[in-house]
Structure 1
Amino acid sequence: MAFLRDYRAARRDEAELGLGVWRRAHDRFRRGLDRFHQILETLPDKALAQSVVPTANALADLLPEVRAICAAAQRTAPSSSHDIPASTGGYLNDVHRELSRAGNAMAQAAEALTMARFMRTDDESAAHRLDAVVRRAEAVRGHVDRARELLERG
């Protein structure tokens, strides 16, 4: 049964996101989000994990937005290759750049969370390390918002 479910999901993704740059931008973001949650699940300090849950939820809430942006971009300018489709004023390049930056910021948030896992609970830098995770998550949000704005204006 899982095979059929996976097949249908792949077909839906292909129909909505295509096989080009928009699909890859979405998939990169999703992989970063999955990695963030994998790291969160393996944190040995449960108090630390609980303090990161709101940030993890906020990041997870961005996935449908990223999917909607990528699907709208695919409808606007279908892509089936590695090339970003041409657009007036190059706004689609900017949309793709912001989606890429969101994926990179997501990876940096996962990296910051990994570093936070090695802190001691009595460490003075503990709050600073968690702040780094939150700052990275805010950067992800900013890039997603900017990509949406650019697409809407284009």
Structure 2
Amino acid sequence: MMKLFPRRRRARRLDKELGRGLWRQAHDRYVRGLDRYHQVIEGVEDDATHSQLVLIGDELAEQLDTVYELCRRAESSRPSQGLQVPGGATKLHSSLSRAANHLATTAEAAAMVRLGHGETVAVRRRADQVRAALQDAQDSAV
């Protein structure tokens, strides 16, 4: 029961700062992808491989602050009530969407490693695509 209240407070703060529309959705998609990635790597039994995947996961988690700040600034300057992209925000939204999609494929690549059908280099390549998409988002937000 104790965890319920901090979770509610956080949800209210996110609603206030990111709204309930497009920018909140963009943020939440990244968070879900990150959660999925960490769920997948929990089952990796080889310690060396697990350590490599954890490092990649930590790098992706460090980007969450960037995603949050981009979405917060976007909601402040171009508020969104629904899921329509506000004028002038197409490139930013597209880049954030690509980052979340690449994060999902990073989790898929990690799952393939976990199953013994992939290599960590593929996970690294996908994670680099996440970072590149977020760099594009930052460049378009300026």
Q: Into which bin does the TM-score normalised by the smaller protein fall?
A: over 0.9
Which residues of structure 2 form unaligned runs of 5+? Answer: none
CA distance in 2, matches of 1:16, 1:47: 40
Partner of 1:123: none
Amino acid paired to 2:43: T
Partner of 2:90: 93
Which residues of structure 1 form unaligned runs of 5+? Answer: 121-125
Question: Cα deviation per residue 1:16-39 (whole Å; 9 max; x = unaligned)?
Answer: 100111000000000000110111
> How many matched pairs?
141
* Deviation, structure 1 residue 58: 0.6
Partner of 1:67: 68
CA distance in 2, matches of 1:51, 1:6: 30
Amino acid paired to 1:30: V
CA distance in 1, matches of 2:129, 2:52: 19
| 1:143 pairs with 2:138 | no
CA distance in 1, matches of 2:13, 2:43: 31
CA distance in 2, matches of 1:116, 1:16: 37
Partner of 1:5: 6
Which of 99, 102, 107 is residue 105 of structure 1 equivalent to? 102
CA distance in 2, matches of 1:38, 1:46: 16
CA distance in 2, matches of 1:31, 1:78: 22
TM-score, scaled to structure 2: 0.95
CA distance in 2, matches of 1:63, 1:22: 14
Partner of 1:83: 84
Kindly report the root-mean-square deviation, in angstroms, between the aligned alpha carbons of the 2 structures. 1.2
Which protein has the larger Cα radius of gyration, Structure 1 or Structure 2?
1
CA distance in 1, matches of 2:52, 2:91: 34
Partner of 1:131: 121
Question: Cα deviation per residue 1:50-74 (whole Å; 9 max; x = unaligned)?
Answer: 1222211110100010000000000
Amino acid paired to 1:98: S
Amino acid paired to 1:146: D
Partner of 1:116: 113
Runs of 4+ in 1 over 4 A off after TM superposition: none
Q: Which sits farther off after the overlay, 45-54 or 73-82?
A: 45-54
